[in-house]
Amino acid sequence: MSSTSAVTFWDGVHAARPATDSPSPNVRLTETVTALPPGEALDLGCGNGGDALWLARAGWRVTAADISAVAVDRLTALARAHGLHDRVTAVRTDLRTSFPPGAFDLVSAHYLHTPYDLDRPAVLRAAAHALRPGGRLLVVDHGSTAPWSWNQDPGVRFPAPEEVAAGIGLDPAVWTVERADAPRRIATGPDGGTAEVTDHVLLVRRAG
């Protein structure tokens, strides 16, 4: 599918969701990062910016990348409104064709799923290589379908975190898998409804 249609699709998804003044961070991010010293972070597919704003409040400098100009513009405005514009840089990036430059202490990819072609293993490999020594890559994928998901395909398959790690193909002498599991949680959808969902969590650390 074309680049234009991917942009149109994701702009439409974001525009259809009401803009919020205080988007919530993902729980897998907060539970993982709270124990880490702040540094430089990269958020891949940042969406409404809840993770980027939370990281900035926790002292991180954040590059937040998304294919959607709607998402990027909203996050830029929110960062300014919350006085976090010096710590959050939102950039429109199509990860199919480019990857944000820089070296990071944390790269986070939460629910980086799309109906368009995206070589996720290549993107996540680039993310692992963009880590500074001692840095971490946190990949959180859906492990089940929520009622409000854009993807209601009953045949959809959710690769286990171990499969995601194997797909990235990292040298175990340099990158260590610190976490690979499938916790469940009660999630809240954009309209306030709740449902139990499964996350697939992969945390990889680059050797110091």
Note the residues at the interface with ligand SAM (CB under 6 A). 6, 10, 26, 45-47, 65-68, 71, 93-96, 110-114, 118
Minimal distance, residue 96 CB to ligand SAM, in Å: 5
Whole-number Å distance between alpha carbons of 141 and 106 = 17
Q: Which is nearer to ligand SAM, 67 or 128 (CB)?
A: 67
Beta bridge pairs of residue 203: 138, 179
Minimal distance, residue 3 CB to ligand SAM, in Å: 8
CA atoms 193, 117, 162, 30: torsion sign: negative
Q: Which is nearer to ligand SAM, 5 or 176 (CB)?
A: 5
Q: Which is nearer to ligand SAM, 134 or 190 (CB)?
A: 190
Minimal distance, residue 86 CB to ligand SAM, in Å: 22
Query: Quick one: CA torsion of 88, 93, 99, 102, rounded to 10 degrees?
Result: -20
Q: Which is nearer to ligand SAM, 46 or 204 (CB)?
A: 46
- What stretch of H or E contains 67? none
Minimal distance, residue 171 CB to ligand SAM, in Å: 26
- Locate tokens 């820089």: which residue? 102
- Locate tokens 């340099």: which residue? 174
Q: Which is nearer to ligand SAM, 174 or 195 (CB)?
A: 195
Minimal distance, residue 133 CB to ligand SAM, in Å: 26
CB-based contact 6:67 (threshold 8 Å): yes
Query: Quick one: CA torsion of 25, 30, 33, 35, rounded to 10 degrees?
Result: 150
Written as one letter, the residue type at 201 is V
